[in-house]
Amino acid sequence: MKLPRIAGYTYKQFPSIQLLVRDDLSRIYPDATWQELCQQLFHNTGELHLHKQTTHKSIFLMRFPPGDSGKLWVVKKYAHRGFGNIVNNMLRPSRAFHEFHTALSISATGIPTPEPLLIAEYQPRGLHVFSLLITQFIADACALKDFLIKPPSNRHLSQQIFERRKVIEAFGRLTAKIFHCGIYQDDYALNNFLVTQDQDGVKIYFIDFERAAMKQRLDDSEKTKLLAKLNRVGREITVKERLQFLSSYLKEDMKPAKELKAYARQLHTATLAQLKKDLQRRRLTCVYTSEEYHKFDTGGCRGICHKRYRPADLIPQVLNVLHAGKQGIMNHSGDGTPHHVKLVPFKKGDAEKMWAAVTALKLAGFAIDLPQGFVETKRGGCLFFNIPASGNFPDFATICKATGAMVMNLLETHFSEALNSYRDIVTGL
């Protein structure tokens, strides 16, 4: 499929490669430079700073033009999934072009987004194999999820509270505007936004459009569904902060203040329903795994693990534990820091099920850290836990006390099976 002409971008065609590049940059560099850049990105990304990688997508940073003086850009590279999808993409836009076109449409509404520099597709023999999108790198920006979940430790508490409120209220207003513009992002979550702060105030960028679509309007049920997905975050976001966000959102959405408590209860119910749905379908990723964990599938083994671990190191250890039929200890230093990990064996399919249960409990407010990951094989699976520096895992009663009576009552009411399963694991550790 040939890329369409887009105002403000120049079309270029090379052997097996087609691209659209922003007009001003197209005039600065010759065609040979663009062709060489695309070939390097499609075939060799080893020297670039890898930010995120899944089976079919890589996100990394690059300087262009090369060298210390070049600007930083963000590159998203997509590999298409199997021959069937390669054939289908001969008739429909690539994932990179969908995100490129959606970014332009969203930017036209006035919502801050990183500006696209280039969209390119690799099509040997007419078959769509790779696509990539290069966008603006937002300097001095912080991921919104990190700002709220991992607040900076060098701020005074009162300053933290003030800054958080400013950002949360700005995010509420932005969310209302996004919905008002008919933007439906099926994965509406904190990890899809960046935040910057300066003397001019707070600015929040919408950054991920892979699962976004432009509609004429969103109805109330769609808005509540997306807000419930956003609300899937644990105890780091307080009830007061959730109400601050919701109040700001409703005010921008032209809803009276008296609806706040009623809508908060409605959203709470929708969020619980969404978490139960996630648990039922064994959702593996969440706001806590974004950028921190990566999925893997080697054919014989699959799972998810913290980015400090290499699947190639984990799998032999897991097979040894499954063969022995009991827990094992693994020493690992993949990131240069020693880690001591306990591997807990499960029957086939149960490790993945337990990972989904632990994720749902954490998102519902249970005072736990996620395990380091899980591995499933044809023989069984393992969940692996980072061993505390003290050598002792916290007992279940201690975790429940830290969680608090109100949240424990909610968990016991709505997630009793998952809670009991986690109690059994902790007792066994």
pLDDT tens, residue by residue, 345-399:
999 999 999 999 999 999 999 999 999 999 999 989 999 999 998 889 999 999 9
Q: What is the DSSP string of 143-162?
A: EHHHHHHS--TTS-HHHHHH
pLDDT above 80 for 49: no
Is 297 domain-assigned?
yes
In a domain, 54, yes or no: yes
Least confident segment among 59-63, 79-83, 135-139: 79-83
Are residues 378 and 309 part of one domain?
Answer: yes
Of 111, 136, 161, the last residue of a domain is 136
| pLDDT, mean of residues 149-177 | 86
Same domain? For 174 and 266 the reply is yes
Last residue of a domain, one of 136, 152, 187: 136
Instruction: Say how many domains are in the chain.
Output: 3
The domain in which residue 186 lies consists of: 142-280
Answer yes or no: is pLDDT of 127 > 90.
Answer: no
Residues 119 and 203 grouped into a single domain: no
Q: What is the mean pLDDT of the chain?
A: 89
Residues 350 and 399 in one domain: yes
Tokens 């600065």 correspond to 28
What tokens were used for 46?
Answer: 């080893």
Same domain for 147 and 273, yes or no, is: yes
89 and 189 together in one domain: no
| Domain shared by 355 and 239, yes or no | no
Q: Please give the Cα distance from 294 to 58 (Å, whole number).
A: 11
- Residue 4 located in a structural domain: no
Predicted local confidence at residue 383, as pLDDT:
95
Residue 3 forms part of a structural domain? no
**pLDDT, tens only, 259-278:** 899 999 999 999 999 999 99
Query: What are the tokens at 376?
Result: 């499933």
Both 297 and 271 in one domain: the answer is: no
Spatial separation of the C-alpha atoms in residues 376 and 340, rounded to whole Å: 20
Strands 17-22 and 49-53: unpaired
